[in-house]
């Protein structure tokens, strides 16, 4: 097929002036990772809060939690990006909206907030499932010992639930890295967007996308292995797949 392969392209100067194509891609990776990491902090804290709310005996808390999750799960991420980026500044009082629009890094800030909220709904689902997987007797035992309900959650339920849901949380973290690519639609120059612009400038489509793909895979492998280490470290002894006797065999 008449396609001119040119793998040396990565060391050519980027037409936008800041180094080579390679440094441009790596800079994109920097944006991808920083967006994903900060958004992950939001997602984890909000998700833990909302997920916990949905397991409490208080009815209105459950309803608010459910509504929150349904809201963020039933609108496509792309549309949510547009809502945060184009719609929110117009809905706020004029001064605040203008301030938001003039932020030096508006796409980055918007992407972080959007991904944070979007992923928090998914984290909330996992947290709820994790708490639900614990025997009910543990909460009862906690309150019977004289702990208040918040104390029971803090010292008995949540520490176990989080350790149980580490594997699904890992895949949510991988998802947030992948989903950050959607932010290219609001102008964030993350990895996929840099690969796309490299293709537009140099016409070396397949080299650009191969490089981006490889970088994503490497990031994936690193994250998966780090999380595996963490899982081993915090495994609940005595559970299947946990540490202790069961895990000793292999």
Partner 1 sequence: MFSNFDFNVIERSWKYLFFDGMVFTLQLTALAMVGGIIVGTLLALSRLSSIKPLSVVAGGYVNLVRSIPLVLVIFWFYFLVPYIGSWVIGIFSGIAPGAVAWLLDALGVRWTAGQPIKVGAFSSCLITFIMFEACYYCEIMRAGIQSIPRGQVSAGYALGLNYWQAMGNIVLPQAFRNMTPVLLTQTVVLFQDVSLVYVLSITDFVGAASKVAQRDGRLVEMYLFVALVYFVLCFGLSSAVKKFQNKIAIIR
Site for partner 1, rule CB under 8 A: 1-3, 70-71, 73-80, 82-83, 86-87, 90-91, 174, 178-182, 184-185, 192, 195-196, 199, 205-206, 209, 212-213, 216-217, 220
Tell me whether residue 139 or residue 192 sits nearer to partner 1 (CB atom): 192
Tell me whether residue 44 or residue 181 sits nearer to partner 1 (CB atom): 181
Taking the C-alpha atoms of residue 77 and residue 193, their distance in angstroms, rounded to an integer, is 17
> Smallest distance, Å, CB 25 to partner 1?
12
Tell me whether residue 83 or residue 129 sits nearer to partner 1 (CB atom): 83
Burial label for 211, CB within 10 Å (0-12, 13-18, 19+), is buried
Tokens of 164: 């149980």
Tell me whether residue 46 or residue 188 sits nearer to partner 1 (CB atom): 188
CA nearest to 120, candidates 167, 181, 173 = 173
> Smallest distance, Å, CB 14 to partner 1?
19
> Smallest distance, Å, CB 76 to partner 1?
4
CA nearest to 72, candidates 111, 124, 118 = 118
> Three-state SS string across 65-91, please?
HHHHHHHHHCCCHHHHHHHHHHHHHHH
Tell me whether residue 73 or residue 228 sits nearer to partner 1 (CB atom): 73
> Smallest distance, Å, CB 11 to partner 1?
22
In 137-221, DSSP assigns E strands to: none
> Smallest distance, Å, CB 156 to partner 1?
30
Taking the C-alpha atoms of residue 118 and residue 36, their distance in angstroms, rounded to an integer, is 12
């Amino acid at each position: 097929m008449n396609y001119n392969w040119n793998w040396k392209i990565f060391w050519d100067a980027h037409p936008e002036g800041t180094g080579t194509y390679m440094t441009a891609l790596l800079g994109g990776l920097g944006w991808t990772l920083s967006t994903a990491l900060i958004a992950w902090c939001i997602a984890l804290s909000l998700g833990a809060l909302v997920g916990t709310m949905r397991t409490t005996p208080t009815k209105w808390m459950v309803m608010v939690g459910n509504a929150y999750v349904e809201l963020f799960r039933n609108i496509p991420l792309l549309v949510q990006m547009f809502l945060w980026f184009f719609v929110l500044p117009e809905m706020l009082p004029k001064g605040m909206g203008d301030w938001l629009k003039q932020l030096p890094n508006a796409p980055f800030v918007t992407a972080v907030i959007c991904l944070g909220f979007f992923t928090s709904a998914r984290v909330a689902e996992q947290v709820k499932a994790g708490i639900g997987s614990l025997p009910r007797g543990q909460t009862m035992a906690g309150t019977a010992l004289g702990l208040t309900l918040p104390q029971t959650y803090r010292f008995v339920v949540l520490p176990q639930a989080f350790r149980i849901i580490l594997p699904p949380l890992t895949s949510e973290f991988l998802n947030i890295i992948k989903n950050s690519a959607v932010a290219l639609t609001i102008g964030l120059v993350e990895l996929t967007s840099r690969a796309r612009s490299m293709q537009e400038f140099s016409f070396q489509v397949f080299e650009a996308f191969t490089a981006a793909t490889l970088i994503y895979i490497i990031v994936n492998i690193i994250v998966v292995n780090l999380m595996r280490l963490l899982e081993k470290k915090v495994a609940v002894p005595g559970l299947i797949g946990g540490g202790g006797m069961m895990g000793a065999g292999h």
